[in-house]
Amino acid sequence: MAVALWLSRTELFYVENTPEAFPLKQLMIMDQDVSISPPDCFHVSSAQGWLGLNNAEEAAIELEKIHPDYRCFPEIVEIEWQIEAKRKRWENCLKLANHLTALVPNQAQGWIHLAFTLHEMQETQRAWDVLLLKVDIFPKEWIIRYNLACYAAKLGKAEEAKEWLDCACLFGSEREILGMALEDPDLKSIWPSIRKPPRRS
């Protein structure tokens, strides 16, 4: 399946994506270099650790301990998205991904999450459209190119899928990407044309 990061067209958005949609406090945070202080930063680390162990419920418990003032921080929205994605609550993921793209539009993860969510909601054409608009803005993000390969394959664009997979290999580990692709059901239609990963030297 397409890759999510674990740690546009306005008409594609399902929630309001304008500054007026966010409280003044969030806009102030976006304009300042503000960090999460203890003990809340410890809960953030704990939540990330639980996510690394694939335990969304414990991660959610840690997140609930964080002061409400920090809930609009991009890193907290990111964690919330990961929790909801592991729970497969895609409607919630959609709102969180849109929120993240509004908070940090110049960072790739929000757009990757938005497209991934749309794909999981069986809106693969829209997922494709979202990433295709962002691929040149984030020229070194191999995940965007890999996910475009997945979406192209699911949309019946086999040749484009191969091209995007080759492009992903230029910006990431070719061995790891090809190995992943050969086990990815989204790319099943082009498995016969995917070359074997190079051996470790």
**Could you give all domains of the chain from N- to C-terminal order, each with its CATH number?**
20-89 (no CATH), 106-201 (1.25.40.10)
pLDDT tier for residue 201 given thresholds of 50, 70 and 90: low
Rounded to the nearest 10 degrees, the angle between the axes of helix 90-103 and helix 74-86 is 160
For residue 132, what pLDDT is reported? 97
Rounded Cα–Cα distance for residues 76 and 149 (Å): 29
For residue 40, what pLDDT is reported? 77
- Taking all residues of the chain, what is their mean pLDDT, rounded to a whole number? 84
Q: Does the pLDDT value for residue 127 go beyond 50?
A: yes
111: which 2 tokens?
A: 């757009």
**Spatial CA neighbour of 2 closest among 196, 186, 190:** 186
155: helix, strand or coil: coil
Q: Return the sign of the alpha-carbon dihedral for residues 144, 145, 148, 154.
A: negative
Low-confidence winner among 69-78, 126-135, 173-182 (lowest mean pLDDT): 69-78
For residue 29, what pLDDT is reported? 38
